[in-house]
Amino acid sequence: MKKFLALSLVGMAVVLLAAGKGIDEKLATKGEKLWTEKGCNACHTIGKGKLVGPDLKGVTEKREYKWLIAMIVNPDSMLKYDPIAKDLLKQYGVPMTNQKVSKEEAKAIIEYIKRESQK
Ligand code: HEC
């Protein structure tokens, strides 16, 4: 009985730790795959400096969640109409291409960026 109690405490601690970080590991792993499949890595790093586009480390704290989804799913119209995106385009001089990412896929990629930003 004591052993069982100790084990459940360890289990609870693990769950709490994971929750504290706020990362959905499964989703982040899916996002990691999409990150290369969708070619984000051709223009971005997460913590290794600028490439064609900005280093995305910490971007999930800098921008609203909804804004990030919109930028990833639909960069074309964001670059046309959104003031922040237009400003970035001025700085980087190259328009981010539409990589045909669904909203669900964008959520996974954002989770991956969040996880990588904590490293
Ligand atoms: C052809 C290069 C290119 C590709 C491919 C690309 N991006 Fe971008 N991205 C950019 C550039 C350049 C910017 C800055 C805005 C601009 O100039 O269009 C940007 C901006 C962003 C931003 C906003 C950054 C900030 O500081 O707010 C996010 C988020 C982002 N990209 C995510 C992605 C994701 C996720 C993918 C893959 C699905 C991707 N990008 C693919 C070039 C690219």
Provide the CATH number for the domain around residue 77. 1.10.760.10
* Dihedral in degrees, nearest 10, Cα atoms 56, 57, 63, 66: 70
The pLDDT value given to residue 38: 98
Residue 111 counted as domain residue: yes
Return phi, psi of residue 56, to 5°.
-95, 10
Domain contains 11: no
Report which residue type is found at 20: G
Per residue, what are the HEC states of the chain? CHHHHHHHHHHHHHHHHHHHHCCCHHHHHHHHHHHHHCCHHHCCCCCCCCCCCCCCCCHHHHCCHHHHHHHHHCHHHHHHHCHHHHHHHHHHCCCCCCCCCCHHHHHHHHHHHHHHHCC
Structural domain of 88? 24-117
Confirm whether 67 is domain-assigned: yes
Q: Please give the pLDDT value at position 90.
A: 98
The answer to whether position 13 is within a domain reads no
Q: What is the pLDDT of residue 22?
A: 86
- Ligand 1: residue of 33, 96, 104, 107 to mutate (most ligand atoms within 8 A of CB) is 96
| Angle, CA 78 vertex, CA 116 and CA 114 arms, to 5° | 10
The answer to whether residue 4 sits within a structural domain is: no
* Predicted confidence (pLDDT) per residue in 21-38, tens digit: 689 999 999 999 999 999
User: What are the tokens at 67?
Assistant: 């804004």
CA of 31 to the centre of ligand 1 (A): 15
> pLDDT tens, position by position, for the chain (119 residues)?
677 667 676 666 555 555 546 899 999 999 999 999 999 999 999 999 999 999 999 999 999 999 999 999 999 999 999 999 999 999 999 999 999 999 999 999 999 999 999 98
Q: How many domains, in total, are found in the chain?
A: 1
Ligand 1 centre from 89 Cα, in Å?
10
Residue 18 is assigned to a structural domain of this protein: no
The alpha carbon of 96 and the centre of ligand 1 are apart by a number of angstroms equal to 5
